[in-house]
Amino acid sequence: MSASSFCVSPRKSPYQRLSRRMRDISGDRGVLKDVIREGAGELVTPDASVLVKYSGYLEHMDKPFDSNCFRKTPRLMKLGEDITLWGMELGLLSMRRGELARFLFKPAYAYGTLGCPPLIPPNTTVLFEIELLDFLDSAESDKFCALSAEQQDQFPLQKVLKVAATEREFGNYLFRQSRFYDAKVRYKRALLLLHRRSAPPEEQHLVEAAKLLVLLNLSFTYLKLERPATALRYGEQALIIDRKNAKALFRCGQVCWRAGTGEQMPKKR
C-alpha cells in the first residue's frame, strides 16, 4: 500500500463549510452572505441611519461575544460613524427592510490582524447574524434643510414632502426612545418646511395632510415634555386643518384634563 493511502484530507471547519454556500459581496470573499429571510423594498443607502438587531459569534462558540438583541429598543446607528466594522457596513448596504442574514467577515473586514483582546483573537473570522428592522436616509434631508428658502423653492413639491416625511420619521424614532426634546426638534424642522412652501390649489391638500401628521406628533410630544399650553396650541392647529380629527380632539381633551383647567375642549371650527 502506498504512502498516499494513509493521507487523510484535513477536515473543514464549520465556517469553511458554511462559506461554500455563501455569496461573495466584497469581491474578494472577505465578506460572505447567506440570506435567512428575504427583505423588501430598496437597498440601504450609503448615508443611512439603520435600526438593526445583531449578534456576533466566534467559531466553535454558541454564545455571542457581542449582541444588541437584549435591548428593547435598538439604537439608531449611522453608517460611516456608528458602525465600526467595515464588513458590517458592506453587509448592511446589501440588505433590505425586514431582511435577516448571516455574514462571515474575514479579519481584514472585522477586527484585523491584532484582533480585540481579550474577546477576539488575532486574525479571526467572525460570523454575524443581522436583522435590518428599518433604515432612514438623512443625507438628502440634511442637505435640503441647509439650503435657503429661495433655493428650496426651486425644487418640486414632492421633494419637500419627502424631506418633511423623513424628518417626521426621525422624530417618530426618537419619540419611541423617549428622547422627546430631540423628537420635537425633528418635528419642528418638518413643520417649518411645510409652512414656508406654497403650493398650487390642486396640491394644497397634500401639504395640509403632511402638516396634520406633524402637528399631532408635536402636540403629543409637548404633553410628554409637560408643556400643556404648547401641546394645546398644536392640537388646535390640527383641528383647523381637520375639525373632526379624532386624534386632535382627543389630544386637546388630554391637555385640558392634565392641566386641570376645567376648560372645555376647543370648539369645532
Report, in angstroms and rounded to the nearest whole number, the Rg of the chain calculated over CA atoms. 25
What number is the average pLDDT over the span 164-179?
A: 88
Look at residue 23 in the predicted model and tell me its pLDDT: 96
255 or 204, which is more confident: 204
Q: How many residues are recorded in the chain?
A: 269
Burial class from Cβ neighbours inside 10 Å (0-12, 13-18, 19+) for residue 55 reads middle
Look at residue 262 in the predicted model and tell me its pLDDT: 45
Look at residue 8 in the predicted model and tell me its pLDDT: 46
> Which domains, ranges and CATH numbers included, belong to the chain?
14-137 (3.10.50.40), 147-261 (1.25.40.10)
67 or 200, which is more confident: 67
- DSSP bridge pairs for 126: 58, 105
Percent above pLDDT 90 for the chain: 43
- For residues 36 and 100, the answer to whether their CB atoms sit within 8 Å is yes
Query: How does pLDDT run across 208-254, given as a tens digit for each residue?
Result: 999 999 999 999 999 899 888 898 899 899 899 888 888 888 888 87
Query: How does pLDDT run across 125-158, given as a tens digit for each residue?
Result: 999 999 999 888 777 787 887 888 888 888 888 8
Looking up cell 380629527, which residue turns up? 245
Residue 57 pLDDT greater than 80, yes or no: yes
Nine-digit cell string for 147: 439650503
Q: How confident is the model at residue 10 (pLDDT cuts 50, 70, 90)?
A: low
Query: How does pLDDT run across 73-126, given as a tens digit for each residue?
Result: 778 888 888 888 999 999 999 999 999 999 999 999 999 999 998 899 999 999
Determine the 3-state secondary structure of 41 from DSSP: strand
Q: What is the DSSP letter of 155?
A: S
